[in-house]
Structure 1
Amino acid sequence: MAKRLWVERGEDGTWEGHSDEGAVIKFGRGEGLFTPGDLLQLALAGCAGMSSQFAVEHALGEGKGAKVVVNAQYSDDDDAFLSFDEQVSIDGTDAHLSEEDAAKLEERMRRHIDKSCTIKHTLVRETPVRMNIKIRH
């Protein structure tokens, strides 16, 4: 069964996302808040980071991880993102990787992300969204 997620408007005008497991995230429009579009980009970046974690820790040691920056191309006319560019960076200087070891790590990370990143899988194909609106009266 899928995890139940929902959002509700807070008294201060912000929005809160909730899960049955108790996770909460505040978002909205304004200073210091992520927008829904920001959350989508963070989900893509987080998915790449988490998917590649095993490969990074195996090569560099426990607790090491990637920094993933996502930039989006946005169209005002379509009110939609047209593309996303991810930059995955690893600081491997402490491990003194050879060129060959760095290339192997890059390939392992790419394979892990391509295999395990649900957000990337979802965004690269057309994904239908069904909406049902109920109004109690």
Structure 2
Amino acid sequence: MPSLPDDRFPLPEDFGPGSVWADRTGHRTLVGRTQRGVEIPIGHGEGEASPGELLKLALIGCAGMSSDVNLARRLGEDFEARLWAHGTSDEAENRYLSIAEEVQLPLEGLTAQEIATVVKVFDRAVAAGCTVERSVVPGVEVTHRVLGAEPGEEQA
């Protein structure tokens, strides 16, 4: 059953599928909510995600979801993956100038050509399917790197 905000404020005219909201819970703290009942504490305290962290999580979450089906065809349905996003905001410009994404995949036992194909498949899937990245770029440089796939790196 979809979740709706309480009635402290009327629903905005544009409220509909995909709408999210955040309620203030204290000084510079909020709780973000989705219609599926997800709650995310937002702030800079313990147990809270900052808006910048949420941006980076959105980017790598989108990259992971966008590439999942295509990578599963190459690496097996139950492949493991971990995605990282690194970057800090530039204080002078008060914005992120770059966010570096790194992906860890099970590349052991793959040939150099197979690894190159995995990297290409990942990059193409993200470029075509990641709505979040397509919305952010070209405003911020977002780079991707499949860890262990760089030329000259040995596979375990």
So what's the TM-score if we normalise by structure 1? 0.80
Q: Which runs of 5+ in 2 are unaligned?
A: 1-15, 140-156
Relative to its length, the structure with more helix (as a share) is 1
Q: Which segments of 5 or more consecutive residues in structure 1 lack a partner in the other structure?
A: 127-137
Aligned 8 A contact 1:4 1:19 in 2: yes
Structure-2 change in CA distance of 1:64 and 1:6 (3 Å): same
CA drift at 1:10: 2.7
Aligned residues, how many?
Answer: 124
Note if contact 2:31-2:40 (Cα within 8 Å) is conserved in structure 1. yes
Extract structure 1 runs of 4+ deviating beyond 6 A.
none
* 8 A contact 2:41–2:47 mirrored in 1: no
How far does the alpha carbon of each residue in 1:98-119 deviate from its partner, in whole angstroms, 9 at most, with x for none? 2111111111111101000111
8 Å CA contact 1:72–1:85 kept in 2: the answer is yes
SS in 1 for 2:18: coil
| Equivalences for residues 42-81 of structure 1 within 5 A | 42-81=57-96
Please give the per-residue CA displacement for 1:76-125, whole angstroms capped at 9, x wherever unaligned: 122111111111221222xx212111111111111101000111101113
2:72 maps to 1:97: no
Report the CA distance between 1:2 and its aligned residue. 4.0
Q: What is the TM-score of this pair, normalised by structure 2? A: 0.71
